Amino acid sequence: MSETKPTILKIGGSVITDKNGELAARTEVINRLIEEVAKANVKNLIIVHGGGSFGHPTAQKYSIKDGLKEPSQKAGFAETHHVMTVLNGLVMDALVWHNVPAISVTPSSCMITENGRIKFFEDTILKMMLKMSLTPVLYGDATLDEKLGFTILSGDQIVSHLARKFNACKIVMGVDTDGLYDADPNVAKNAKLYPHLTLGELKAIQGKLGKSTAADVTGGMLGKITELIPAVEQGIPVTIINAAKSNRVYKALIGEKVEGTIIEKD
């Protein structure tokens, strides 16, 4: 692998799609974000994006996460994977037209889970891409599962797995809030943003995050944090920023000071 440790950027599905719609892509946001990625020109970058209103409603409709229970779900599994490739195509379009050497890597073709956790990952091709300073682009996907038949593999789990496997220098999580708060900012007017948290501090507020954030955001944020903790434990810093706001992804990628929450081991 090239000596430069990779940077991993997660682009949240709630940023690039309208989660209240179905198959509702925010193409202008995708373009603006990819412009920022292109401008930052990070040497070894891996991008992972979420499912938003593409993957989630379809996965829910056919109960894909719980696994294969009846044959009629197979078409739903195929459809869930397919709509993710459609969203991925939009992200890829923007990347390629902005001259980013980005290559789509389909998680369901190189990863198998066991009870929802990544068990097998054929990484030969991804390693070679990194060696050549190409930018692999992955996404949350409907994947085969050794115990369940199939399931949903979140982009967050992929981020954490890749970060640990390739010893990333940092993870940038682009979400639709400004970072982690001590209370739900949609409810508590004086909610305070944590600019910096150590792993110990994060673990101490973990329960609080779940209780106090809005239902929608909560699951997402709590799930994210739970996935990311093993990467932070390995010494990989995580920056959570609002990707819906201009220039935050750019600043986080180039290491400039930016509003958000930085989580570090100590």
Binding positions for ligand IP8, rule: CB under 6 A? 13, 50-51, 55-56, 59, 80, 84, 140-142, 152, 154-156
Shortest reach from residue 80's CB to ligand IP8, in Å = 5
**Closest distance of CB 65 from ligand IP8, Å:** 8
Instruction: Please report where in the chains the tokens 């600043």 appear, as a residue.
Output: 251
Q: Helices 215-233 and 199-212: crossing angle, nearest 10°?
A: 160
CA distance 183 to 134: 40
CB neighbours of 122 closer than 8 A, spacing ≥ 6?
110, 111
- Closer residue to ligand IP8 (CB): 198 or 226: 226
Q: Which neighbouring-strand residues pair with 142?
A: 152
> Shortest gap between Cβ of 29 and ligand IP8 (angstroms)?
15
Count CB-CB contacts under 10 A for residue 21.
12
Q: Which residue is nearest to ligand IP8 (CB)?
A: 140
Residue 70 CB, shortest distance to ligand IP8, in Å, is: 19
Residue 155 or 179: the one with the smaller Cβ distance to ligand IP8 is 155
Q: How far is the CB of 167 from ligand IP8 (least distance, A)?
A: 22
Instruction: Give the nearer residue to ligand IP8 in terms of CB position, either 80 or 160.
Output: 80
Report phi then psi at 6, rounded to 5.
-75, 150
Q: 168: closest CA among 47, 24, 39, 14?
A: 47
Backbone angles phi, psi at 49, to 5 degrees: -120, 160
Report d(CA 136, CA 238) in Å as an integer.
19
Phi and psi dihedrals of 169, rounded to 5? -80, -30
Residue number, 63 or 204, with CB nearest to ligand IP8: 63
Min dist CB 141 to ligand IP8, Å, is 6
Closer to ligand IP8 by CB, 142 or 209: give it. Answer: 142
Give the nearer residue to ligand IP8 in terms of CB position, either 95 or 152. 152
